[in-house]
Amino acid sequence: MGGQSFYKALLRCYPAAFRDEYGNQMVLMFNEQLGEARRTGRPVETAALWGRAAWDALTVAPREHAHVIFQDIRFSVRSLAARPGFAAVAVLSLALGIGANTAIFSLWNGLIHSSLPLVKHPEQLVMLTDPQASGMWHGNEEGARTWLNYPEFEQLRDQAGSFSAIMASQSSLEQWQVRYAGHDWEEAYGRMVSGGYFETLGIAPAVGRLFTAADDHTNSSNAVIGYGYWQRRFGGRAVLGQTFTVHNAVLTIIGVAPRGFVGETAGQEPDFWLPLRLQPSIMPGEDLLHEKPPEKAMWLQVFGRLKPGVSAARAESEANAIFKRGLQQFYGGVSSPERQHQLLDQSLKVRPAGRGASETRGDFATSLSALMAAVGLLLLIACANLANLLLARGAARTPEMALRLSLGASRGRLIRQLVTESLVLAAMGGASGMIAAWLVFGALERMISLSDASFRMSFSLDPVVLAFTVAVTLAAGLLFGLLPAWQVTRTEAGAALKEKSRGALGSMGRTGWGRSLVSLQIALSLPLLVCAGLLARTLTNLQHVDLGYPTDRLLTASISSRVAGYDTARSIALFSGLLDRVRRMPGVTAASLSSDGLFTGAQSSDRVQVEGFVPKTDKDQSSAWDMVGPRYFSSLGVPILAGRDILESDQGAASKVCAINQAFAKQFFAGRNPLGLHVSVADEVGGRVTTYEVVGVVRNYRTRSLRENVRSYLYMPLAQPPGDEVKRATFLVRTSAENPGMLAGIRQAIRQVDAALPVDSAKTMSEQLAPSTESVRATAQVAEVFGFIALALAAIGLYGVLSHNIARRRGEIALRIALGAQPVSVVRMILRETGVLVAAGLLLGGGLAYAASRWIAEQLYGISPQDPMVGAVSVALLLAVAFGAVYLPARRASRVAPMAALRQE
Amino acid sequence: MREAKPESLLPLPAAVFHILIALAESDRHGYSILQDVAARTDGKVRLSAGTLYSSIRRMLEQGLIEELAESPDPSSTDERRRYYRLTRFGRRAAAAEVQRINTLVQQAHQSGLVPGA
């Protein structure tokens, strides 16, 4: 009958269990109703009946499915609650695994992958400058331009037709001292941007208004503040019209940027934006708005929005044409045609900018990828472990499953039940993982901001991150759930029941999977341990690098005199007076200063001409240089190998002298005695040449990097500068005892001389050095933590599988003992079997460790990626843990009382 | 579930209440419940097979009804039919539901929402 089979087909919409239970009754009833309807003779009755049946399939059937799922979940929760230890271990390891993955993915997503938040049509945005660079460069560049200067930006803004909007922003986020009326000075992060900034990014204000093109032409003193700053600093109260002071500028808040907007640089969140036109009052003593040949002050990132239909290539060629015209004007006066040709060899490169600029992105891309791989491994280990525990548990449940199968439960139903259990575990792990992610993200953010103070990014569960977490959770649940479910239900009902009743000798076949997983875990732990070891050794090596001077009891303080309005001559006088004052402070044993300081990131370098030296290539002529105060080397503790230190008398009209380091002597004097010979520093464009007589040779010492070779260095007295160069100084103060409290005293001494002098930083030398090792330290810590977790997980896995195995093989072991085997030989047998697992794991792990160590080779220092000691210690550690995990189960096996065990079986 | 208070099941879904009423007089099989409900309501309430058995499944789990091991009607020839009986718990649940509805009705009268008896 057609009607009946169609109705039966409709019943397929219901869960199998429901169908099995009530299907026949429903068919029976439907037939009766159908007959009744037909007897009325009205087709509409029949149609209504079919309509209700179809409606049932659409509404009742899904409810029944939900009921089954809910039941499965309830059953799973109850069965997990019965084993709280297992549930806790499972949820914890999953939370850690999923949390770490989510946090690192979130960071990766925010920094490396996703487009700038809120920016309209990010795919149309391009940059004409280097997205991964921030800072400022006075001088001349060759090749592709890193940054532009303000007049170059103006030319592009006014002449380029390829862009619907174009804007410039200060490439570095600045930390400024700001003051609101009636309040003390406070710190805030800001950035100067051109009038078209917000329009180019396609941003509308949350409150008030934003900058417009007019801000490029009038000297408006407008400021736009960030949403986060508005909430933090003002609690979201009305702020329009509020004024604040930054250096010589008094600014008025005209608007608030929308919530979530961070600007054009990923990982940074300015507190406010100021118009570029205000640069001279915000950075007093320096005019960056106008060109001052012979050098360019390059400091701006330039972004454009391509007009519809304009290709990046076309925009690039147009921008380059405008840029080249500007260069020709600027370098027209260079006398040497060869040098002019070199200087004109500069170009703009148009790059996609939807993800914005980011210096951090370049710095951390490798570390983040490595971290992603590491936490991915961790999650795999956790999954392998859970699969193992579930397998062990599943084997114990085999009789139960066999019973349910023989009672007519379908295999699909049992798999569904077991997988639901895993998914419930995974969901609990995923939910706790969110909390773990939030914690880990905070730690990572702090880690990055240690090496990049302006880095700020908040953990946000945006849809991409949430989707990632849900996907990872589901994948994990299926990964560790499906395999054991498959294994456990594979049993044939009769066979398993018989096996149980007969107490069969354990066959290892069933747990083959579990054993492979143990090997895999050991294999996965080894690379983590090796990397942790290598990085830890690197950290120790870096911390013990000989800088060439003692770093204890050394304080540093940097001052920008140019910003406070001092020219070179007044700066020299200021620094000399300050140095006298600092040297007289009680507790100070020595003090001096240099222009670029130690590990400040600043470095000056130029082409030099050395008496009697014939350069082979252009690069041969380059040397770093620094201007130093009197008695610099003896104050710092750098040994003077020949000649003398820079002295107070080396100033002004006295004959100009300099010191050089060993590297300089080697590069330029190669075996000659440098003392008394002359070195000239030439101004590239202006042709101004300053010549110094070498009066001292000092031992190489490190000022910039712990790893790189020390480059050749020329040290001239700060009081005899090679041009109009003195704008800042870093004071180096050696104290009689370790006393960071003295930094306050130094700050005060500076304030007493001129309260307007900004102290950029005041730190102990170890604080100053910390960022140089921070990245390695952080990576090492992460690898250590993950390595030990992996080790612990491997131990748990090994222990779980072995105790289960031994429990299964009690009968066999008892029989062996009954037949005369010594307990010790039983232990030996188990150790031998474990040894095979461990050896297989180590073999595979060795390969993985080799690959991993080559991957981090770039981060290592003073140690080979294949260091045998680290490898041996890692393997020994793994072996110790593995055999520790085996010991208890093995001992239990050797104490099996044969008769009791056999009777029990 | 059997130990739950009847109040925890309130309000009862309309279909469940109808089934309880149909089973109050005598034990019935599914189709008989359906017919009884239709007759009582002058054909206004017509339970579908899906709704009926979904409700029965739930009521069995909640202990409101139970299934009989064999047909209470020795003359019945159709052994495929399954019969259901109201439990004491089911009776208490129905009473609680009536109480709930009564209270509501009284409140509607007292508040003047509906002209009162």
Interface ipTM = 0.89
**Range with the largest mean pLDDT of A489-498, A671-680, A754-763:** A671-680
In this prediction, residue A500 has a pLDDT band, given cuts at 50, 70 and 90, of: very low
Q: At residue A492, does pLDDT exceed 60? A: no
Q: How would you label A497-527 residue by residue, b for 16+ Cβ within 10 Å and e otherwise?
A: bebeeebeebeeebbebbbebbbbbbbbbbb
Q: At residue A139, does pLDDT exceed 80? A: no
Nearest by Cα to A216 from A233, A244, A192: A192
* A53 has a chain B CB within 8 A of its CB: yes
Q: At residue A697, does pLDDT exceed 90? A: yes
Residues 6+ positions from A174 with CB-CB distance below 8 Å: A189, A190, A191
Give the residue-averaged pLDDT of A109-134.
86
pLDDT number for residue B107? 93
Quick check: B48 and A53 CB within 8 A? yes
Nearest by Cα to A373 from A101, A96, A107: A101
**Beta partners for residue A729, in sequence order:** A559
User: Of A23-27, A550-554, A782-786, B63-67, which range is least confident?
Assistant: A782-786
* A13 has a chain B CB within 8 A of its CB: no
Integer CA distances (angstroms), A714 to A279, A591, A598, A628, A662, in order: 33, 20, 15, 10, 10
Q: Where are the alpha helices (DSSP H) in A41-83?
A: 43-81
Nearest CB partner across the interface for B50, out of A32, A56, A67: A56
Give the residue-averaged pLDDT of A723-749.
86
Nearest residue of B to residue A15, measured between CA atoms: B54
**Distance (Å, whole) CA A672 – CA A613:** 10
In this prediction, residue A513 has a pLDDT band, given cuts at 50, 70 and 90, of: low
Best A60, A67, A74 member to test B by mutation, with max B CBs in 10 Å, is A60
Query: Which two three-digit tokens encode residue B100?
Result: 């709930």
**Beta partners for residue A168, in sequence order:** A302
Distance from CA of B53 to the nearest CA of A (A): 7
Percent of chain A beyond pLDDT 70? 91
pLDDT number for residue A155? 94
Angle at A553 (CA atoms; ends A549, A559), nearest 5 degrees: 85
| Residue A178 phi, psi dihedral angles, 5° rounding | -120, 160
Quick check: B80 and A26 CB within 8 A? no
* A30 has a chain B CB within 8 A of its CB: yes
Chain segment A43-82, per-residue pLDDT in tens: 998 999 899 999 999 999 999 999 988 988 888 888 888 8
A615 or A317: which carries more pLDDT confidence? Answer: A317
Q: At residue B1, does pLDDT exceed 50? A: no
Residue reference for tokens 């469940």: B16
User: Of A22-31, A291-300, B80-89, which range is least confident?
Assistant: A291-300
Task: Give the DSSP H/E element, type plus range, for residue A902.
Answer: helix A898-904
* B38 has a chain A CB within 8 A of its CB: no
Quick check: B48 and A52 CB within 8 A? yes
CB A250 within 8 A of CB A259: no
pLDDT number for residue A594? 94
Torsion angle, CA of A741/A747/A750/A751, rounded to 10 degrees? -130
Chain segment A573-584, per-residue pLDDT in tens: 999 999 999 999
Nearest residue of B to residue A36, measured between CA atoms: B35
Integer CA distances (angstroms), A570 to A448, A576, A686, A778, B31, in order: 39, 10, 23, 43, 107
Q: At residue A731, does pLDDT exceed 60? A: yes
pLDDT number for residue B75? 67
Nearest by Cα to A764 from A555, A491, A904: A555
* Contact residues on chain B for A26, CB-CB shorter than 8 A: 49-50, 53
Quick check: A56 and B56 CB within 8 A? no
Give the residue-averaged pLDDT of A208-236.
91
Q: How many CB atoms lie within 10 A of CB A654?
A: 12
Nearest by Cα to A611 from A670, A524, A545, A683: A670
Query: Which two three-digit tokens encode residue A775?
Result: 């990245």
Nearest by Cα to A596 from A627, A550, A629: A627
In this prediction, residue A786 has a pLDDT band, given cuts at 50, 70 and 90, of: low
Q: At residue A222, does pLDDT exceed 90? A: yes
Residues 6+ positions from A587 with CB-CB distance below 8 Å: A735, A736, A737, A739, A742
Per-chain mean pLDDT for chain A: 84
Q: At residue A127, does pLDDT exceed 90? A: yes
A&B contacts, CB < 8 Å:
51
Nearest by Cα to A222 from A200, A201, A244, A205: A244
Quick check: A57 and B51 CB within 8 A? no
In this prediction, residue A467 has a pLDDT band, given cuts at 50, 70 and 90, of: confident
Q: At residue A504, does pLDDT exceed 60? A: no
Q: At residue A845, does pLDDT exceed 70? A: yes
- Tell me, letter by letter, the H, E, C secondary structure of A695-723: EEEECCCCCCCCCCCCCCEEEEECCCCCC
Chain segment A744-784, per-residue pLDDT in tens: 888 888 888 887 777 777 888 988 888 777 767 767 776 67
Query: Which two three-digit tokens encode residue A259?
Result: 């919530």
Q: How many CB atoms lie within 10 A of CB A832?
A: 9
Nearest by Cα to A805 from A593, A586, A518: A518
User: Of A94-108, A619-633, A832-846, which range is least confident?
Assistant: A94-108
Distance from CA of B84 to the nearest CA of A (A): 13
* B positions 53-92 inside 8 Å of A (CB): 53-54, 56-58, 80-82
Q: Angle A398-406/A463-489 helices, nearest 10 degrees?
A: 80
Query: Which two three-digit tokens encode residue A536?
Result: 């830890």
User: Of A338-342, A441-445, B98-102, which range is least confident?
Assistant: A441-445
**Distance (Å, whole) CA A864 – CA A852:** 13
Give the residue-averaged pLDDT of A131-147.
84
SS3 A861: coil
pLDDT number for residue A855? 82
Give the residue-averaged pLDDT of A640-657.
93
**Distance (Å, whole) CA A497 – CA A403:** 8
In this prediction, residue A459 has a pLDDT band, given cuts at 50, 70 and 90, of: low
Distance from CA of A86 to the nearest CA of B (A): 28
A794 or A727: which carries more pLDDT confidence? Answer: A727
**Range with the largest mean pLDDT of A501-510, A548-557, B1-10:** A548-557
Best B31, B47, B59 member to test A by mutation, with max A CBs in 10 Å, is B31
Angle at A716 (CA atoms; ends A714, A721), nearest 5 degrees: 125
Give the residue-averaged pLDDT of A367-380.
78
CB A720 within 8 A of CB A650: yes
**Range with the largest mean pLDDT of A453-467, A499-513, A668-682, A743-757:** A668-682
User: Of A500-509, A652-661, A781-790, B34-43, which range is least confident?
Assistant: A500-509
pTM here is 0.62
**Distance (Å, whole) CA A508 – CA A516:** 12
Percent of chain A beyond pLDDT 90? 32
pLDDT number for residue A905? 54
Chain segment A398-437, per-residue pLDDT in tens: 777 778 777 777 777 788 888 888 888 888 888 988 888 8
Cis status of the peptide bond prior to A122, with omega within 30 of 0: no
Q: Where are the alpha helices (DSSP H) in A333-410?
A: 337-344, 359-396, 398-406
- Tell how strand A554-560 and strand A249-256 pair up: unpaired
Q: How many CB atoms lie within 10 A of CB A345?
A: 11
